[in-house]
Amino acid sequence: MSTQLPQWIKLNNEILVKKDSSFQYEKDREAARSYFIDYVNQNTVFFHNLREKIDYLLDQDYYERELFDSYSFDQIKEVYDYLYTQKFRFPSFMSAFKFYNNYAMKTNDGTKFLERYEDRLAVVSLFLAKGDHKKALQYAELLISQEYQPATPTFLNAGKKRRGELVSCFLLEVDDSMNAIGFAINSALQLSKIGGGVSLNLSKIRAAGEQIKGLDGKASGVLPVMKLFEDAFSYANQLGQRDGSGVVYLNIFHPDIHEFLDTKKINSDEKIRIKTLSLGVVAPDKFFELVEKDKDMYLFYPHTVYKEYGKHLDDMDITAMYDELVNNPNIRKKKVVARDLIIKIAQTQMESGYPYIMYVDNANEYHALKEIGRVKFSNLCSEIAQVSEVSVINDYDEPDVINRDISCNLGSLNIVNVMKNKRIQETVHLSMDALTEVSDRTNINLVPSVAKANRELHSVGLGAMNLHGYLALNKISYESKEAIDFVRTFFMMVNYYSLERSMLIAKERGITFVGFEQSEYANGNYFTRYLENDYSPRLDKVTTLFEGHYIPTKEDWIRLKEEVQQHGLYHSYRLAIAPTGSISYLQSATASIAPITQRIEEREYGDSKTIYPMPYLSDDNFFFYKEAYDMDMFNVIDLVAEVQVHVDQAISTILFVKDDNTTRDLAKYYIYAQKKGLKTLYYTRTKKRTIEECISCSV
């Protein structure tokens, strides 16, 4: 019978069973060991040597032959040998389990492993180096030292003959026409099929009760469109592996905004409830101004705006246009109370975690491509902030006008290892090369608007993880001045070197992203803050952390500015800080730049449950691993705001609150984040006090 509980799961769960009043941390290593001996080793296909293995995997159509043909066998062997001699060991059950459960290549019937961690790294390195054997060795070093981790789709798929796409993240505009909605549904299906997360901007869709063909009251608004997308995503489930995921964004000045939020309320009608689709609200500064002044707020019917101005409501700077729209009698409006709306958002977040919030004016104020177009919405994890343009989808007898949507390929630096190895310039350069390679080799021809954007803009998103791990390891509190001082310098350096590399690629190839000449990089405005401010460490403790690192100075920035203006940049967007779910577990790192949620995490991740003590957790640093729910969210926002200064896209930021927080507390966080220049807020997580806690303080 297969009901027997595996030994490693039992051991892993025993971490939480206290012995002599302390947790049994050591059980984690035992679990990792048992997992290898009792499971991985017994379920790995055995090969006598590397040649036999590679021949088999090529003959059986597991690996891509062209990839291996671009190297000599000796070169390939050198990469594998290098990786195996590094003697890498997974430090926790979670990391080993993540790799073998989610990433290691398995036989076609899914029963046996064909790869170890080293094998996957070797193939990813060979893939990224594209026949350059020296470069492959550099990538191998970068990956095995765990300084850089490509996002899941790249890491999972690179080098495989039958594989999904290397990029995972897509954002689509939806025009206000039946053709466009149909096109978007098709695109959503296609992108889900290849494993992507899809974000849709619904702000252009005419509101419920608007005209269709000049007849009043005929339009059904955004809700039925949301239902269509929800069903599309649950249909495209990647051979049953995982349902497609999607998010829809709506501008807060769209008249369907209340109904949009109600779809996530606990007591909403089944017919309108949205279960699996995520929601995001796009909020211009005007909204916050009206909230602060406690004023009424007008929502604008988008179809009447389009008819009047020939321009979509959400393509406008609504903050600048607000008074004009209010005073234009041809614009149909609905009056609501701004403070009621922010409280409603807070209430919906408490009940469901949604919506995400995009501070669209913050995103556009520091937007390096502001002369090219506006940022209008974000993605499924709210770290993307890029220009997008709606396409015009015509009938069959007329060609479509395809404009640029958004795709983004991501990767993350592991802060602990980057700081330890003290070669941040090289690390960031190589990481940028890895991301560039993925962008260059991606062509999503299923969705032409996405392919066009990638072809012209080469956008990538380099992020980071393990910030809390790094701080705890160095006995720095997450909420301290030192932490803020550290991220200021660290992310300034990441920004500097990513710009430098992008410039060097443009110089080497003689190619910039399309529209570079109109960008803030070309006119030099982008660099102003670096010429006016010094971002090197101010505190002694932080200065010590950077010992052995070269920190770019103002003079370096002046030189870089000139070089960028002369040679251009290859990438329109470079940095974005993703939430790093699976890959931070794989790296035994804390997620993203976020605080930890539990010192010993109990993780439910779709198809598995695992107990995971935070990296390096010990009695020594227990105190520095303060849990997010115990932190002051204002402090967390302050830290993110410091990082945001150096990140051209956005940062996935989660709010963590206890269940005694009210809608007022949450609303204050939203407002504060807006004032501090954050571009997005991801979801809000509520920690429920347990009944023992409640009873014990009362009965």
Partner 1 sequence: MKPFEAVNWNDPETDYTEMIWTQNTSQFWLDTEIPISKDVKSWVHLQDEEKETYMRVLGGLTLLDTEQGNVGMPLIAQHVKEKQKKAILIFQAAMEEIHAKSYSTIFTTVASTENINNVFQWVQEEKHLQYKTATIDAIYKNIKEDDPYSLYQGLVASVFLESFLFYSGFFYPLYLAGQGKMVASGEIIKLIIRDESVHGVFVGVLAQEVYQQLSIVEKQEADRFVNDLLQDLYKNELGYTENLYDSIGLTHEVKKYIRYNANKALMNLGLEPFFEEEEVNPVVLNGIRTETSTHDFFSTKGKGYQKGKVEALHDDDFDFLNQRVLDTTIK
Closer Cβ to partner 1, 80 or 535, answer by number: 535
* CA distance linking residue 636 with residue 657, whole number of Å: 12
Closer Cβ to partner 1, 133 or 599, answer by number: 599
Give the residues across from 335 on adjacent strands: 298
Phi, psi of 223, deg, nearest 5: -60, -50
Closer Cβ to partner 1, 42 or 608, answer by number: 608
Looking at residue 581, its amino acid is G
Q: Which two tokens stand for residue 501?
A: 């590399």
Closer Cβ to partner 1, 6 or 448, answer by number: 6
Hey, what's the torsion of the CAs at 143, 149, 150, 152, to 10 degrees? 120
Cβ contacts of 277 within 8 Å, gap of 6 or more? 226, 229, 230, 233, 246, 247, 248
CB of 227 to partner 1, least distance (A): 15
Closer Cβ to partner 1, 23 or 80, answer by number: 23
CB of 197 to partner 1, least distance (A): 8
Q: In the block, which residue shows the tokens 């998010």? A: 247
* CA distance linking residue 456 with residue 443, whole number of Å: 11
* CA distance linking residue 485 with residue 556, whole number of Å: 20
CB of 144 to partner 1, least distance (A): 27
Cβ contacts of 114 within 8 Å, gap of 6 or more? 44, 45, 57, 62, 104, 105, 106, 107
Give the three-class secondary structure for 113.
strand
Closer Cβ to partner 1, 228 or 504, answer by number: 228
* DSSP, res 6: P
Residues labelled as active-site residues: 379, 381, 383
Task: Find out whether 487 and 642 touch, Cβ atoms under 8 Å.
Answer: yes
* CA distance linking residue 602 with residue 599, whole number of Å: 9
Q: Within 10 Å of residue 185's Cβ, how many Cβ atoms?
A: 18
CB of 586 to partner 1, least distance (A): 15
Cβ contacts of 154 within 8 Å, gap of 6 or more? 124, 166, 167, 409, 411, 434, 438
Closer Cβ to partner 1, 370 or 626, answer by number: 626
CB of 632 to partner 1, least distance (A): 11
CB of 624 to partner 1, least distance (A): 20
